[in-house]
Structure 1
Amino acid sequence: MINPMPTDPLMNLPPDRIPEPSQDRMTETIAAAQQLFTRQPVKSTDEAAAFRRQFFGGTWMEAILGAGLVTAAGIIAFSLSPTFIAAVPPGSVPLPAETFRTDMQETRGMRPPDLDMIAPLEPATFGDLQLGVRNVEDRFGVYLVDDKGLEQQLLSGNKGVQEAISVTDAVLTAWNGQQVLSVRSGFGDLQRWDAFVEEQFGFTLSPTLSRIIWDAADAQDVRDRLAATGASD
């Protein structure tokens, strides 16, 4: 009976001969590895090179530890430098105790309610000018009321809990083709004038004019000071 030839062509290939390992080559490789492992650093007469060999010429663990110490020292020195401290964003500086509660509420989405929602307006009338003020704990707001009863907040800020801000005088003048509203407010004997220039959407605080009139004696003194800078009635 004739046996059929195998159909897999790979089975017709002669078996591969596995080479025997060379004992001489293995001995040479082992000897070279031992020599590389036990080799000492090359000697140098330079003191800096000798120090580097002494510090880093030990085990790999010693070298890694040394590099870590150097890195940590560099990070500490940089973080304590004046340049780094000056570059810290203002928001990361601790807030004063008196403003900590309010600022924390705002950052958490708990902004305090508007003053007109929790306190009635304390009206103050000066001729045809209708103004008012609201005092709530450590906050206050100064408002202008138009002939339709609509309010515009002119000033707002923080105050002492025991303090009550009041509006003590106000005058409306023309200055360089614009209307200027001057308002005197404060608490107790601490009063000052602020100037507001009329724009498209109402009156806006003018720091320049406020510096001119802030310590005026009365409304006429305000008119005189503004007239000296170009104002006219």
Structure 2
Amino acid sequence: MSHDPLSRLPPERIPEPSPSRMQETIAAAQQLFARQPVQTPGKQRAGRRVFFGRTWMEAILGAGLVSTACVLAFVLSPAFMVTPPVLEREPVQTGPIRTDMMVPAQGLRPVDLDMIADLEPYTFGALRLGVRNADERFALYHVDEQGLELQLLEGRKAAAETVSISDAVLTQWNGQQVLAVRSGFGDLQRWDAFVEEGFGFELSAALSHQIWDAADAAEVEQRLAVASGG
């Protein structure tokens, strides 16, 4: 006779599996595998709330991916991307105001042309002038009686172009001496007027406007006489 107190308990009846419960479990497993919500009567399984056919965790991850894609599409869109402005080059004018003159810029200045190019001399009566051409730059000079060179103006040109002086005259305007110089390259020639100031000559835009397209030195003197009222 056994002395084990557990052996005195009445034997429990092992429950038999319910066929309907097994069918519900199989259907739930198939729907979970197909990523579809489990349609079971009564209360849903604890711990997994369903949100439009997906779990709450899947919904949160999906919303995050959609938000990231929207942000990337907005940032990378052409309307949002900032592009540097394109500077349009101003067309070269052929009017009376020179557009090829160089304006001194801040910082490093280019090397003076008299250090890298020889002077090309021009003589018109007692007037002594000269030109220097180097790469994309040129300069006009007046040479005084002592041989001292005074730069009249410096400008830009194409590397293949060579600026020359075709005519010049020293005349009067309002009691001041005016040096008129016709220069350019090829058939593109124009007059510029330089008014005597101190020990040299300075470019006068107003007088250059009066004479820039004159046919010859005689017409330059006539136009300056009219401009001075003489």
Which TM-score band (shorter chain)? 0.5 to 0.7
Q: What does residue range 46-195 of structure 1 map to in structure 2 within 5 Å? A: 58-73=62-77, 76-79=78-81, 88=85, 90=87, 113-161=111-159, 163-195=161-193
Aligned-partner SS, 1:77: coil
8 A contact 2:75–2:81 mirrored in 1: no
Secondary structure of residue in 1 paired with 2:121? strand
Question: Does the 8 Å CA contact 1:140/1:159 hold for their aligned counterparts?
Answer: yes
User: Which structure's CA Rg is the greater one?
Assistant: 2
Superposed displacement of residue 138, structure 1 = 4.4
| Structure 1 unaligned residues grouped into runs of 5+ | 1-33, 42-55, 95-105
Identity %: 52
Q: Deviations for 1:151-186, whole angstroms, at most 9, x for unmatched residues?
A: 122233344555432222212223234432110122
Residues paired across the two proteins, number: 163
Question: Does the Cα contact within 8 Å between 2:138 and 2:154 map onto a contact in 1?
Answer: yes
Instruction: Give the Cα–Cα distance (whole angstroms) in 1 for the partners of residues 119 and 65 of structure 2.
Output: 74
Contact 2:180 2:192 in 1 (8 A): yes
SS at match of 2:202: strand
Counterparts of residues 198-209 of structure 1 (less than 5 Å): 198-200=196-198, 202-209=200-207
The Cα shift of 1:115 comes to 2.1
Contact map agreement 1:144 1:152 (CA 8 A) in 2: yes
Name whichever structure is richer in helix by fraction: 1
What's the offset of the Cα at 1:89? Answer: 6.9
Alignment check: 8 A CA contact 2:74 2:80 kept: no
**Structure 2 portions without partners, runs of 5+:** 1-45, 53-59, 90-104
Aligned counterparts of 1:209 and 1:123: Cα–Cα separation in 2: 25
Contact 1:174 1:231 in 2 (8 A): no
Relative contact order, CA 8 A, sep 6+: which one is greater? 2
Structure 2: distance between partners of 1:160 and 1:71 = 43
Could you tell me the TM-score, scaled by structure 1's length? 0.54
